[in-house]
Amino acid sequence: MSSGAELDGVLVQWGERLFYPGNRIVRSAPTPRLSGSVGQRAATIRQHIRATVIWRAPQVMVKVTGGGRGMAAIVAHFRYISKNGRLEFEDDRGVTREGKEALHALAEQWRYAGSFIEETSQRREAFNIMLSMPYGTDPLTVQRAAREFAEAELSDHRYVMVLHDHQANPHVHISVRAESRNGKRLNPRKADLQRWRETFAERLRGWGIDAEATRQATRGQIRNYEPTWRVKAGAEGRLTTARAPERSGLGFARSQAFAIQAWDQIIRGLSRSQSAEDRALAVEADSFVRSTPFAIDFMRKKREQAKAQQERTRAIPEMPRVVSRSREGPEMER
């Protein structure tokens, strides 16, 4: 049996790597991290484990859906997200407006705020972000969390946000000016998107909504999601290349192997705990990991490899036994 302090150390060591992994490639602002004493951090990790393997808390979605290369494209997106001014839109100062005239005034503010934006441009002058939660989530809470997300992540930029609650999944569209007030340009990468997901989930939990931003590797997911531009191109008949339905490659394999290693260490630690609640959590976590698409696919491939090996073994013809006579007589030497 493991002591409480020893187990807490294991949970913090491997749980932080599993739920709060750092990015070693892209230089970006730090992701939300654990804080407090070892016991407090271990308690947070236990909550993440329960949310992932027992409660199956909804996963937040944060997407960059495109960006405007010039004011013409930016204004078109303004019209789309506000339904041509019929929906209320809110800017980075917290001012809410609606109507075509207000939309036109917003566009003129963006055109001249900072570097002048031409009607068409060779570079992205704005990024379109969508924050979404599954059906049944309170739309106003999603809006509040999105507002806090923007204040935390986009505070140096001009942005406008609109709530869409008329579709199945409540979501917020945010259009953000690429150039910040100090002249630095926004250029979101993979690490930034994951940080944005974690920030959005954190703000939702602050409003009492169960939400997680767990990475695909942690959840054992192998589905290769289509980016928005491919979905649009496919709908318009412009897609000319196919995309594998499942993720693969060396980087994917490394991520999955690391996640499995972290889960294994956490499950081993929990299973040796003096607490019956921890041991029960270990059973739930083990069942969850075994049921993930990655684990199922791994075991399928392992069975296929074993079957192929058996068939190759059967296909090898049996070699005749060679008998050599070393001397005359009935005695044979093999």
Alpha-carbon torsion, ordered 9, 10, 16, 17, to 10 deg: 140
Query: Are the beta carbons of 129 and 176 closer than 8 angstroms?
Result: yes
Alpha-carbon torsion, ordered 250, 256, 257, 258, to 10 deg: 110
Which amino acid belongs to residue 278?
D
Which structure tokens are listed for 213? 């931003």
**Cβ neighbours of residue 26 under 8 Å, at least 6 residues apart?**
189, 190, 191, 192
Query: Are the beta carbons of 174 and 160 closer than 8 angstroms?
Result: yes
The edge-to-edge listing of strands for the beta sheet with 96-97 is: 61-66, 126-132, 171-177, 159-164, 89-91, 96-97
pLDDT given at position 300: 82
pLDDT given at position 145: 97
Query: Are the beta carbons of 86 and 98 closer than 8 angstroms?
Result: yes
Q: Which residues of the chain have pLDDT under 50?
A: 23-28, 332-334
Rounded to whole angstroms, the Cα distance separating 188 from 205 reads: 24
What length does the chain have? 334
| Cα Rg, the chain, nearest whole Å | 28
CA-wise closest residue to 198 among 252, 168, 153: 153
Rounded to whole angstroms, the Cα distance separating 59 from 212 reads: 5
pLDDT given at position 25: 35
User: Looking at residue 159, what DSSP letter applies?
Assistant: E
**pTM higher than 0.85:** no
CA-wise closest residue to 3 among 306, 275, 200: 275
On the 0-12 / 13-18 / 19+ scale of CB atoms within 10 A, 306 is exposed
